[in-house]
Structure 1
């Protein structure tokens, strides 16, 4: 037995002894009358017939800035993959079809009558990727880490302070979490901790630098096995992963290897057509309508699907920095709204595929359905610019104020595929007397510019959870500092009150009223120009990539959310043979799929 195996074995023995020693303590500290809950009655998420094995080739637009989960630059382009096998392994999950709570890292949970104390029974089979058993102490350490100043992460410092009063290990497999406040959603608020290996992470001055390029030791099924700067990151599946046969993990996480190649977004389609990547989502409506006739589709080597889904929508659009001198004026911001040519963009570039967003909380019951988008009206834009002091045009046609200040700003973006849209916006705004300088940056750089508020206007989007998260976006706690998701630097006393009603009030009607009022204020303040929405995901995949009959679960926002796909080696051999011979497998003409019966609801 090697030294690593001996260490793991010894820890397992210590764990077993500690469990016996802690049994009496656990009984004493868990109040009588606590009702334990679990849920093994929901449908499987993956397909139990899914095959394990193979390599799934995908892309990331830039190489990771860090492999840390916390601290500076940890919210970069790679973070979704980094978190998928670590932070996403929370205590309790939410089923992506039924929305019910389901066991994840905990097998059982119990909410105390005070609705701020929650108990969890941890899965005794759970192990870190290095084989070390996962215990309640690893969740205690997660809380310690979130609170630590050594991580240089104000967001998580604030989060830990705002949401948790204490995190305690009753025994190695029983955890007690006390929230900082009574909650109307205690599982969502307090079951979000993930296990952090204390035996790996050593919090001390310099931790950020020390941990920067060190891959995570995780509870999930994949670990970083190879990282080539500027080229790729390779993830490998743990063969004897502890969760493989758990009910809600069955049929998920099937590929043996996931190769994430660094590919600029503008080049992804070319890489896909050359079969250098196996799957891609199609964001561009023009591409979907005009560029799907390539030979691999006609011969059935490639499939294309438009799957209708029901998901909350995160913010997506153009954002104005309230610290930028030009955008300090609400009238200027409203002028920008009235110049936004959605109808022109939708007809000319998007083939009428989309509807206009208006709410900051789209797809949830908290969206203010009484709101309407700002109409496209150059005349109203001129009125607002005049109120802001921009009454004359210079020799180049750009509006100027009495001080000679030009109505000019830079629009930062990180997706080259958006250039046709932004060029039309630039032209329309110029006709309205407003000059836009387009500034294309690397995706990771553009992302960080947004977080640091180092921009004037920026194109940015964020995903969202089951419930809206207005605190991190619109509360003044995050307007005071940069490095967070309050992109605009917005926050004031009355809106903070509305956010806090949503966070803390036990009356659902009050929470809905508060967020709808906040929604109306956000629209009126005009610092966010919402883009567009479509109730579907469009994607392409090669023939040896397989899916369940229902494709992605109902609540999927991106492919990474629920890894239900697998690689079929027989289909791989068939595909290679067909490609070598140039023969057809038969075109797949079933493009639109609606496994969750979304379309009838849209018609209503």
Structure 2
């Protein structure tokens, strides 16, 4: 997070006015740390090699804040360069572990935090990472110059003060007591010596490569084609306990490939190291080719335990047609998930229902709308669409057609959306499909320049209803409230979740919010699956568990490595046409997720 330049005089004044402000005062703090959990990766992992991967669109920006800073590329930039928090949750044990801070202390008020920063931490330009860099993060979040209403609002609502007590001691005071203060009030560092906050911030830093505290620097880029991250051999954190076995490739080459089918072709040609298989059709029909048959490449389905994100149809409540709740409900009843799952996805998925799927905050009483043409017709009539026009599409009394445009950025979903379009048209609703370049689709969603779009966001370990449904974000754009929804009452429920220390009250509020969101019907949840499916060449190696339990994207926890000896052996085998032997184990379930899921489904069926 962010810190504006602070003069020596100002720092001394802040130190003098803030307690505890002396060694004696700090000695009363009860510090915590945790070096008892296992390393996140495999300490035996090898360093070196090039990892080739892809992204759907060239970065809209290299910034972490401001317009378009949450595009697909941002997950890479956050993971390997800049977004290193003070503490982290261990992705297998869920315990707090040291990250940029070696120690921490939560005070009795549950909003005042102290951190001892790692004195070894350096920016990639050699300057030390100090408490002043975290103060700068707050100043950046507060600044209107960044043109980011989400962070402006977050800073206003969450932070009372951030103080550099000493160069390597940081104090953070939240605005309220919290049931998870280390999660709620954490910050990342911003290089105060390299980032200024004057007007023109978005343009000034749009393509600027800044000093980073992470293990990689962005070393090469060609607009529209690729970016390359290069590992810092002398990175200050390389021998830290929890980073041993992580961040292993020397270089990460990310090629722009805007179509997943083309990306699979690139993988088959050896131009990608790993390919994540995101469609059931590919997984069922396209995994047998020369490389997999000869054991030169392998496939895995790894079961993981992490909440699902937001994924489905998003309706823009600023557009007239979707301001009618009955029309929205008709769309819900016309979405035939079972047909799509059976005919196009080999029954590989199950229907998502909740806005908070995979968490204890999901309302267990919710049932999906289900495909029900009779109810759809009833709601269409209530919405004023009682007769068909000459083209077969329903019209209201003023001649307005039951028609809208659906914008999306994934060609891999074209078949699915064509089926949806055909079903809708059969019942008098015209959905015009508009396939956009992924970056354009994302940007249009953030700016609410759409009627209905495909909404896809990853989730945190805990739901974030405020950013998606808080009414404060209705009046602004470039935030995750893409549907422009929010009421005073739903805000009050969100506030119970955010601020109330009673877990039962939080659960009750979130379950009620979940039911309201489903009834408002502006979000059509799609499908979910608690696994990652991927192909990889034989030279890509993993720990025995492949990835930690809490993972959504490959970028989350980079524990894979490149084995150069195996790369050479693979090249020789391929040149000779010699098989290496297939890996017969496809499903990997080190955390017993599949077993628990199937047991729960069986229990529900028996009930």
- Same fold, judged at TM 0.5 (above): yes
Partner of 1:7: none
Taking the aligned partners of 1:356 and 1:141, their CA distance within structure 2 comes to: 44
Partner of 2:361: 366
Partner of 1:391: 386
- List 4+ stretches of structure 1 deviating above 2 A: 22-32, 85-88
Unaligned runs of 5+ in 1: 1-14
3-state SS, counterpart of residue 509 of structure 1: helix
Task: Please give the residue correspondences for 1:132-531 in structure 2 after superposition, counting only pairs within 5 Å.
Answer: 132-191=127-186, 193-266=187-260, 267-531=262-526
Q: Does the 8 A contact of 2:194 with 2:210 survive in 1? A: no
Taking the aligned partners of 1:378 and 1:31, their CA distance within structure 2 comes to: 69
Partner of 2:48: 53
Q: Does the 8 A contact of 1:23 with 1:171 survive in 2? A: no
Taking the aligned partners of 1:372 and 1:88, their CA distance within structure 2 comes to: 37
Taking the aligned partners of 1:330 and 1:71, their CA distance within structure 2 comes to: 33
Taking the aligned partners of 1:142 and 1:324, their CA distance within structure 2 comes to: 36
Taking the aligned partners of 1:120 and 1:499, their CA distance within structure 2 comes to: 29
3-state SS, counterpart of residue 22 of structure 2: helix
The number of residue pairs the alignment matches comes to 583
3-state SS, counterpart of residue 307 of structure 1: strand
Q: Deviations over 1:178-212 (max 9, x none)?
A: 00111111000112x11111111122122221111
Q: Does the 8 A contact of 2:81 with 2:215 survive in 1? A: no
59-68 or 84-93: bigger deviation? 84-93
3-state SS, counterpart of residue 168 of structure 1: strand
3-state SS, counterpart of residue 130 of structure 1: coil
3-state SS, counterpart of residue 560 of structure 1: coil
Q: Does the 8 A contact of 2:82 with 2:214 survive in 1? A: no
Taking the aligned partners of 2:346 and 2:25, their CA distance within structure 1 comes to: 62
Residue from 67, 70, 89 that aligns with 1:75: 70
Taking the aligned partners of 1:458 and 1:228, their CA distance within structure 2 comes to: 29
Alpha-carbon distance change, 23 to 394 in structure 1, aligned in 2, over 3 angstroms: closer
Q: Does the 8 A contact of 1:29 with 1:170 survive in 2? A: no
Partner of 1:102: 97
Taking the aligned partners of 1:85 and 1:562, their CA distance within structure 2 comes to: 10
Q: Does the 8 A contact of 2:20 with 2:26 survive in 1? A: no
Per-residue deviation, 1:397: 1.1
Partner of 1:11: none
78-87 or 531-540: bigger deviation? 78-87
Per-residue deviation, 1:60: 1.2
Taking the aligned partners of 2:365 and 2:515, their CA distance within structure 1 comes to: 9
Taking the aligned partners of 2:64 and 2:370, their CA distance within structure 1 comes to: 42
Residue from 564, 572, 586 that aligns with 2:559: 564
Partner of 2:22: 26
CA RMSD across the alignment: 1.5
Per-residue deviation, 1:429: 0.3
Taking the aligned partners of 1:31 and 1:158, their CA distance within structure 2 comes to: 35
Partner of 1:6: none
Taking the aligned partners of 2:385 and 2:225, their CA distance within structure 1 comes to: 48
Partner of 2:57: 62
Taking the aligned partners of 1:325 and 1:207, their CA distance within structure 2 comes to: 35
Q: TM-score, normalised by structure 1?
A: 0.95
3-state SS, counterpart of residue 541 of structure 1: strand
Q: Does the 8 A contact of 2:58 with 2:224 survive in 1? A: yes
Alpha-carbon distance change, 23 to 526 in structure 1, aligned in 2, over 3 angstroms: closer
Partner of 2:7: none
Q: Does the 8 A contact of 1:280 with 1:539 survive in 2? A: yes
Taking the aligned partners of 1:482 and 1:503, their CA distance within structure 2 comes to: 22
3-state SS, counterpart of residue 287 of structure 2: coil
3-state SS, counterpart of residue 555 of structure 2: helix
Taking the aligned partners of 1:224 and 1:131, their CA distance within structure 2 comes to: 16
Partner of 2:532: 537
Per-residue deviation, 1:138: 0.5
Taking the aligned partners of 1:480 and 1:499, their CA distance within structure 2 comes to: 18
Taking the aligned partners of 1:47 and 1:492, their CA distance within structure 2 comes to: 48
3-state SS, counterpart of residue 481 of structure 1: coil
- Please tell me whether residue 123 in structure 1 is matched to residue 118 in structure 2: yes
Q: Deviations over 1:403-454 (max 9, x none)?
A: 0000000000000000000000000000010001001111011011111111
Taking the aligned partners of 1:270 and 1:96, their CA distance within structure 2 comes to: 32
Q: Does the 8 A contact of 2:309 with 2:357 survive in 1? A: yes
Q: Deviations over 1:60-81 (max 9, x none)?
A: 1111111111111212221111
Per-residue deviation, 1:599: 2.1
Partner of 1:10: none
Per-residue deviation, 1:27: 2.2
Taking the aligned partners of 1:85 and 1:350, their CA distance within structure 2 comes to: 33
Q: Deviations over 1:243-263 (max 9, x none)?
A: 111111000000000001111
